[in-house]
Amino acid sequence: MPDKKRIKEAETNVRNYLKDGLLRKTKSVDENILKVLKKNSEESLKTADLLLRGNYSTLWAVVCSYYSMYYIANSVLYSRGYKVGHEISHKVTSDALFVLVRNKLKESLLEEFEEAQEEALEIAGMRADELVESFDLERLKRSRFQYEMSEEIKRSKAETSLKRAKKFVFEMEKLLMQEK
């Protein structure tokens, strides 16, 4: 669960990114760009799955899992009218998810749990927070993964990455469907 400090940091960063041009509001959405981002996400997820199932590389399974999340996150941001620039794009994407997508994700998840409204609010809020935070966790893991971990730990972490990526991509694709 992201803490209030992390959310505040993201809000401040997004304001600065918009001011500095690291994140731009778009005038229109190009469907071809959305297709490419979605295709890259799907390809990355499939590659991660193949790498892990075939015992080829836990490192690249984590990297590909993360990139499936990165591409679909950028697709959702773009569909909502925001284009992430090339500089520090991973951090910009992470912060923008907290600020621009988190509440929409909560709404989307709430629709699935209409019957138990009070419980759903808490569950949906937690799931939305977990999904957005999972992107941030995978971004950090990807940068640490190369250093001094046993193969068993790497495999476990790669399996967690793939599971998170599948869940993240699934929820982001639902948001994209709502945007249409």
Mean pLDDT of 61-82: 92
DSSP string, the chain: ---HHHHHHHHHHHHHHHHHTSEEE-SS--HHHHHHHHHHHHHHHHHHHHHHHTTS-HHHHHHHHHHHHHHHHHHHHHHTTEEE-STTHHHHHHHHIIIIIHHHHHHHHHHHTGGGHHHHHHHHHHHHHHHHHHHHHHHHHHHHTTSS--HHHHHHHHHHHHHHHHHHHHHHHHHHHHH-
* Report for 9-23, 102-116, 151-165: range of highest mean pLDDT: 9-23
Measuring CA to CA, how many Å separate 167 from each of 18, 45, 73, 114, 158? 29, 11, 12, 21, 14
Residue 147 scores a pLDDT above 80: no
Pick from 21-30, 84-93, 141-150, 151-160: least confident: 141-150
pTM over 0.85: no
Residue 63 scores a pLDDT above 70: yes
pLDDT classification of 141: cutoffs 50, 70, 90? confident
